[in-house]
Amino acid sequence: MDYLGKHISGQYDADLAHIRREVMTMGGLVEQQFSHAIRTLLEHDVELAEQVIAGDQKVNQMEVAIDEACVKIIAKRQPTASDLRLIMVILKLIAELERIGDSAEAICRIAKQDFTPEQLSLLTSLETMGNSVMKMLKDVLDAFTRMDMDAALTVYLEDKRIAQKYDLVIRQMMTFMMEDPRSIPNILIALNCARSIMRVSSRCQNISELVFYFVKGQDYRHVGDDVIEKLLKERENPA
């Protein structure tokens, strides 16, 4: 995050630098939690699942600590407009990260159960989707760190593709259930995992909107497709 200028107060700079470091650490931790969650799902690694579940506490603590540090810096330092905007997006980022952590935990709570071979093969069918979302998370955190509009836009668009994959998974699983009703409880479990993965994708999209907001100074939540199209065109034909 090199987009922060110097301030007259050395302590202020130090406080901001501290928050920046903590945010990056939290991002790294959540990325690891989610990638471990996907691995436990595919390899049915119960020990790793337990580790992720225990690790969610750390994610939660980091959110609370960074939140406090942000409020403190606002109260003490009266940040200027652009610093304040950064602090506001950090507050929203850590809320999204915390929820991604929750999704990782939810996946691991499912993944640590005893599985039948049928369940294992169902869960393996989520591999492509899981890997795509893992890449999204990595990319959007990079985009946030560099406040890179272009990279954020790529992640934003990816969410639609994930949603299509998810619909496909749902339809497949519905067919399985109708063909073999005994498989219903197993399939509902796999559907829950698919939904958790899908949600992480939406949260990555939310994070990409934070980058838009920081760079453009405009709130991009809830905007229509036309506004996003315009951003896309700007990317293709930079002024």
8-state DSSP, 194: H
Decide if 79 contacts 73 (C-beta within 8 A): yes
Sign of CA dihedral 213, 218, 224, 226: negative
| Cβ closest to its own copies, residue 125 vs residue 131 | 125
Choosing from 64, 157, 168, 227, the residue that interacts with its own copies (CB under 8 A) is: 64
Spatial distance between the Cα atoms of 120 and 115, rounded to a whole number of angstroms: 6
Residue-wise DSSP of 50-90: HHHHHHHHHHHHHHHHHHHHHHHHHHHH---HHHHHHHHHH
Residue window 18-57: x/- pattern of binding to its own copies, with contact defined by CB under 8 A: ---------------------------------------x
25 versus 135: smaller Cβ distance to its own copies? 25
- Residue 140 CA to residue 164 CA, distance in Å, equals 20
| Stretch near its own copies under the rule CB under 8 A, chosen from 10-18, 86-94, 134-142, 154-162 | 86-94
By beta-carbon proximity to its own copies, the closer residue of 28 and 217 is 217
Distance between alpha carbon 191 and the CA centroid of its chain, in Å? 19
Torsion of CA 35, 130, 124, 25, to 10 degrees: 10
Question: CB of residue 4 vs its own copies: minimum separation in angstroms?
Answer: 17
Using CB under 8 A, which of the segments 17-25, 85-93, 116-124, 125-133 binds its own copies?
85-93
Among 14, 71, 157, 168, binds its own copies (CB under 8 A): 71
239 lies in the site for its own copies, by CB under 8 A = no
Q: Which residues contact 157 (CB under 8 A, 6 or more apart)?
A: 228, 232
By C-beta, is 6 or 182 nearer to its own copies?
A: 182
Q: Does 172 help bind its own copies (rule: CB under 8 A)?
A: no
Q: Which is nearer to its own copies, 102 or 139 (CB)?
A: 102
Determine the Cα–Cα distance for residues 36 and 105; give it in Å rounded to an integer. Answer: 10
Q: Which residues bind its own copies (CB under 8 A)?
A: 57, 60-61, 63-64, 67-68, 71, 74-75, 78-81, 84-85, 88, 91-92, 95, 170, 174, 177-178, 181-182, 184-185, 188, 219, 221-222
